[in-house]
Amino acid sequence: MATANLIEATENYPQVLVSQQLANSETAIYTCPASKSVVIDTATLCNTSGATVAVYLSVVKTGGTAGAANRVAIIPALLPSDSTSVVELTGFLGPGDFISGYASAATSVAIVLRGAVSS
């Protein structure tokens, strides 16, 4: 039987969880699957545009609402062609928990989340 408890997990699958461009409005980026738990090992942002961009990121408990109330990171000035790690996104997600966010300009910032899904 699948469990969301990492200590009791029988399967653990390290992988790239997300590799995509951020939208310019609050959008779910990754949601932990039902009956699973996830550990986010690394979170990286890269500004692929020629302009400075602001980035806003949230970690939301299942049943919660994406947005400022759950904001964990604000990067006010990600420079062109620059990248940064976002340690505030690393850690555990339970079933239905999710990461959301947006950039001040659509398709200007790539986000990559690496981690492991356990069941």
Domains in the chain, ordered, with CATH? Answer: 6-118 (2.60.120.220)
Handedness of CA 100, 77, 45, 108 (dihedral sign): positive
Tens of pLDDT along the chain (119 residues) come to 444 555 665 788 899 999 999 999 999 999 999 999 999 999 999 999 999 999 999 999 999 999 999 999 999 999 999 999 999 999 999 999 999 999 999 999 999 999 999 98
Are 86 and 57 in contact, with CB atoms under 8 Å apart? yes
d(CA 118, CA 55): 29
What sign does the dihedral 49-108-86-42 (CA atoms) show? Answer: negative
Dihedral sign from CA coordinates of 85, 53, 27, 16: negative
pTM for this prediction: 0.90
